[in-house]
Amino acid sequence: MTINEIAQLAGVSRATVSRYLNDGYVSEEKKKRIAKVIAQTGYVPSQQARTLRTGKTRFVGVVIPKINSESVGREVAGITSVLGASDYRTLLANTDNDETAEVAYLNAFREQGQVDGIILIGTVITDEHRRLFEELSVPVAVTGQRVEGVSCVYFDDYNAMYDLTLCCAAGREHPAYIGVFERDYAAGHLRTQAFLDAAHQLGCADPVVERGLFDMGSGATLTDKIMSERPETDALVCATDEIAAGACKRLSQLGLRVPEDVHVTGLGDSSLARVVTPQLTTVHYYYRTSGVEAARMLVEAMEQGNAAVRETKMGYKLVLRESTAADA
Amino acid sequence: MTINEIAQLAGVSRATVSRYLNDGYVSEEKKKRIAKVIAQTGYVPSQQARTLRTGKTRFVGVVIPKINSESVGREVAGITSVLGASDYRTLLANTDNDETAEVAYLNAFREQGQVDGIILIGTVITDEHRRLFEELSVPVAVTGQRVEGVSCVYFDDYNAMYDLTLCCAAGREHPAYIGVFERDYAAGHLRTQAFLDAAHQLGCADPVVERGLFDMGSGATLTDKIMSERPETDALVCATDEIAAGACKRLSQLGLRVPEDVHVTGLGDSSLARVVTPQLTTVHYYYRTSGVEAARMLVEAMEQGNAAVRETKMGYKLVLRESTAADA
DNA sequence: CTGAAAGCGCTTACAG
DNA sequence: CTGAAAGCGCTTACAG
């Protein structure tokens, strides 16, 4: 089925069929005839040919750091729902936390004109990223990190972690923090800073900070380190639920009770937070909504030329569960 | 940059440049000239134009039941690694366990000629699916379910669950099973049947079977039901790790100890299995490898016309952990 | 080994 | 409101 056959069957020129499919500047009578033929034949225009002619692909590239991460999954769900509704298809590019791959994908999308827009689920934003954003000929939106001059939707990491620390460390003497590398500004830098500020606010003289990766293994290892170097530690604030899960597991292996001996908190409110024993006090992040927001921004930018850059900071909600004392 | 500009710069016709890019039936001298120009300009051929001309898209549609599932994530990782290496790009379509959406995506891929091949991560395979497979003009591969006449790679669900049940219920009097709906042949029908056969083999007179969904909530609810109707139950075999995690949680809330009072097993060896307390005895499935296998089959089918259908059954490995007695 | 030519399926000024 | 014509960037018989 091509537009030519439809034109012939409907007794009009293919230009008229094309108009029917696009602006719709066609007489009522021909409209009807064309509509009927299309219905009968089940004709679907070739997107390839359309792209070749218009330069628009109706694809959006979504660069993700990790497949099979709950937060990423929720964001992607939000993104595809908006994109699908606007008739864009999603091209998922998984970097597996490889910064080089991330830049490579961004470049590939740019060079080959394969997408009308790009969404990056951000972790570490380098100068290379910033340069790329400038050079990109299609609109971009970033989630999870604030990027100057680029449309983005991010979380209130500082205040979320500040509140969490107050709640976890209140009434405790020796809080410690298990975080991640500083290069991740949102999850590394801001959350650590918030912990330190809150600990200071609570009057803690010498709060401990350790850093590792985003996984349970890291949580377990650093819990070992902290508890052997500072056995007096009585509150463990963790940058993510995964890390907190690893910490809880190790604490129990060390014969320490949570929350009686040590308070523990995570962040993210993943399903993991409800599975582990004890259930984790955490912060709920609106991941799905943040995906929806980013996709909306992008669609707007793709359809209207005037790329008004917008930054959205998402709220959060403290979720108190068993891993901290109820009196917090 | 178009092929015309390259041709002009290299002083050859665009047909020659095209040949250079494809068969390579070009004199050494011109090859050199063309290579140089391409290197200098960074020219990348337009995939759209190529597709329009050849009918090949170099896209593969991958239909998944759920984003953010560990098993799916692992399979997709395997798939994209193979596909990427063969220069195919992956188009992920997420159905969110909606059978209608699944058929719709399959149809869309078929109608619009947007992909050169399709991989389906299978759950429920209906007659509608089978019909579609027949009508598809591009090769397909299915993972997770055996489908007659279609290339597929699936797991040895029956034997895996049989072994697991022997291990979980050995020396116990009253094993029960928490499974999922029969319509999922692999995870529903086969695993349930294997449990029943193994229970029978162990001499259990009246093994209990309950069915729900794939999540922790289902595990918790059905554990409630089983323990109130059959408080003598001393082994809980679950169709997945998620279900088993929900079961463990509820058992502990009911004041029952695992494994002392009740043995519990899951299946899949997800990271969840190591997080919950106690850690779950389970079966390891080679999800990533199964994705790799399916992608290889598909690539072969796409590149060689002779679509020799192949079925691969993957092995498995019993993983003993804390949730069953060590003497099993 | 190479180039001129046709054509993949569409859209869009242009002239009417 | 409508059609003839050009062209998006490529590939592939065909004739040489």
What digits encode the pLDDT tens for the residues B230-284? Answer: 999 999 999 999 999 999 999 999 999 999 999 999 999 998 898 888 999 999 9
| Over residues A192-205, mean pLDDT | 95
Q: Quick one: tokens of A156?
A: 């209130």
Q: Quick one: tokens of A283?
A: 């912060």
Which pLDDT value is given to residue A316? 98
What rounded mean pLDDT belongs to chain A?
92
Is residue B178 helix, strand or coil? strand
Nearest to B51 by CA among B93, B1, B112, B106: B112
Residue A184 scores a pLDDT above 70: yes
B256 CA, D6 C1': Å apart: 80
- Answer for the pair A194, A159: CB distance below 8 angstroms, yes or no: yes
Burial of residue A291 (CB within 10 Å: 0-12, 13-18, 19+) is buried
Measure in Å the smallest separation between the Cα of A70 and chain B Cα atoms.
6
- Answer for the pair A280, A323: CB distance below 8 angstroms, yes or no: yes
- Answer for the pair A166, A202: CB distance below 8 angstroms, yes or no: yes
- Answer for the pair A127, A103: CB distance below 8 angstroms, yes or no: no
Cα separation, B65 vs A106, whole angstroms: 27
Cβ contact A47–B114 (<8 Å): yes
Quickly tell me which residue has 């990782």 as its tokens: B77
Is the Cβ atom of A55 within 7 Å of strand C at any atom?
A: no
Chain B contact for A53, CB < 8 A? no
Q: Can you spell out the DSSP letters for B99-127?
A: HHHHHHHHHHHHHHT--SEEEEE-S---H
Neighbours of B136 (CB within 10 A): 16
Cα separation, A164 vs A5, whole angstroms: 65
- Answer for the pair B95, B102: CB distance below 8 angstroms, yes or no: yes
Which pLDDT value is given to residue B66? 86
Q: Identify nearest nucleotide to residue B46 by CA to C1′ distance.
A: D9
Is residue B27 helix, strand or coil? coil
Q: Where are the beta strands (DSSP E) in chain B?
A: 59-64, 89-94, 117-121, 140-143, 151-155, 175-180, 208-212, 235-238, 263-265, 282-285, 311-314, 316-319
What is the Cα B101 distance to its own chain's centre? 17
Provide the residue count of chain B: 328
Nearest CB neighbour to B272, from listed A48, A249, A275: A275
What digits encode the pLDDT tens for the residues A98-131? Answer: 888 888 888 878 776 789 999 999 999 999 999 9
Which pLDDT value is given to residue A326? 57
- Residue in chain B closest to A215 (alpha carbons) equals B271
Type of residue numbered A24: G
Chain B contact for A72, CB < 8 A? yes
Chain B contact for A74, CB < 8 A? yes
Cβ contact B276–A276 (<8 Å): yes
Instruction: Identify the DSSP state of B208.
Output: E
Cα separation, B307 vs B135, whole angstroms: 14
Which pLDDT value is given to residue A328? 42
Is the Cβ atom of B39 within 7 Å of strand C at any atom?
A: no
Chain A contact for B101, CB < 8 A? no
- Residue in chain A closest to B278 (alpha carbons) equals A277
Which of A94, A264, A287 should we substitute to test contact with B (largest number of B Cβ atoms within 10 Å)? A94
Quick one: which H or E segment has residue A229? helix A216-229
What digits encode the pLDDT tens for the residues B140-179? Answer: 999 999 999 999 999 999 999 999 999 999 999 999 999 9
A15 CA, C15 C1': Å apart: 14
Quickly tell me which residue has 């979320």 as its tokens: A160
What digits encode the pLDDT tens for the residues A40-90? Answer: 999 989 888 998 999 888 889 999 998 878 899 999 999 999 998 998 888
Which of A43, A48, A81 should we substitute to test contact with B (largest number of B Cβ atoms within 10 Å)? A48
Cβ contact B249–A275 (<8 Å): yes
- Answer for the pair B319, B135: CB distance below 8 angstroms, yes or no: no
Confidence band, pLDDT 50/70/90 cuts, at residue B328: very low
- Answer for the pair A142, A150: CB distance below 8 angstroms, yes or no: yes
Nearest to B144 by CA among B206, B93, B190: B190
| Over residues A171-180, mean pLDDT | 96
B22 CA, C10 C1': Å apart: 25
Residue A295 scores a pLDDT above 50: yes
Query: Which residues of chain B make contact with A61, given a CB cutoff of 8 A?
Result: none
What digits encode the pLDDT tens for the residues A151-165? Answer: 999 999 999 999 999
Strands B175-180, A175-180: pairing is unpaired
Question: Between chain A and chain B, how many beta carbons pairs sit less than 8 Å apart?
Answer: 86
Cα separation, A273 vs B45, whole angstroms: 48
Distances (CA, A) of A186 to A122, A179, A222, B53, B328: 9, 11, 21, 46, 47
Cβ contact A113–B272 (<8 Å): no
Which of A218-222, B108-112, B135-139, B290-294 bottoms out in mean pLDDT, i.e. has the lowest?
A: B108-112
For a pLDDT cut of 70, what percent of chain A falls above it?
98
Alpha-carbon torsion B188, B191, B194, B196, what sign?
negative
Nearest to B325 by CA among B167, B161, B165, B160: B167
| Over residues A180-203, mean pLDDT | 97
Cα separation, A125 vs A184, whole angstroms: 7
What digits encode the pLDDT tens for the residues B68-114? Answer: 788 999 999 999 999 989 988 888 888 888 888 888 888 878 776 78
Distances (CA, A) of A213 to A90, A180, A280, B218: 29, 5, 19, 32
Read off φ and ψ for residue A13, nearest 5 degrees: -85, 160
Is the Cβ atom of A39 within 7 Å of strand C at any atom?
A: no
Nearest to B197 by CA among B226, B223, B225, B175: B175
Q: Which residues contact B93 (CB under 8 A, 6 or more apart)?
A: B61, B62, B63, B64, B105, B109
Residue A307 scores a pLDDT above 80: no
Which pLDDT value is given to residue B326? 56
Nearest to B175 by CA among B139, B203, B152, B213: B203
For a pLDDT cut of 90, what percent of chain A falls above it?
75
Cβ contact A68–B51 (<8 Å): no
Measure in Å the smallest separation between the Cα of A50 and chain B Cα atoms.
9
Distances (CA, A) of A115 to A51, A63, A108, A119, A196: 10, 12, 10, 11, 42
Neighbours of A49 (CB within 10 A): 15
Point out which residues pair with B285 in neighbouring strands. B316
Q: Quick one: tokens of B229?
A: 């109707």
Q: Dihedral, CA atoms, A252, A254, A258, A262, nearest 10 degrees?
A: -160
